[in-house]
A and B are shown apart, each in its own frame.
Chain A
Amino acid sequence: MMLNRLELADSQLDSPLGRTSPIIKLGVGIGWLAGLALTLAWTPPLLLAAVALAAGILLGSVRVGTLARSIAPLWIAALGIGLFNALYSTSNGDPAAATLVALGPTRITVEAATNGFALALRVIAIASVGAVFTLTTDPTRLADALVRQARVSPRFAYGALAAYQAIPRFGEDLATLRQARRIRGLRGSWHPRLLVTLLVLAIRHGDRLALAMDARAFDSGSMTFYRDLRWSWLDAGVAIGASIVLIGALALGR
Chain B
Amino acid sequence: MPEALLEIRDLHVSFALERSTVYAVQGLSLQVDAGERVGVVGESGSGKSVSALSVMQMVPSPGKITAGDIVFGGENIRTLSTSELRHIRGGQIGMIPQNPLTSLNPVLTVEAHLQEVLRLHLGLTRREGRERTIELLRSVGIPDPATRMHEYPHRLSGGQRQRVMIALAMACAPKLLIADEPTTALDVTIQAQILDLFDELVESSNLGAILITHNLGIVAGHCDRVVVMYAGRVMETASVPDLFARPAHPYTLGLLRCVPRLTARRSRVFHAIPGAPPQVTQLAEGCPFAPRCERATDQCRTQTPPLEEFRTNHAIACWHPVTEPAEVAS
The yes or no verdict on A and B being binding partners is no
Residues of B with Cβ closer than 8 Å to A? none
Residues of A with Cβ closer than 8 Å to B? none
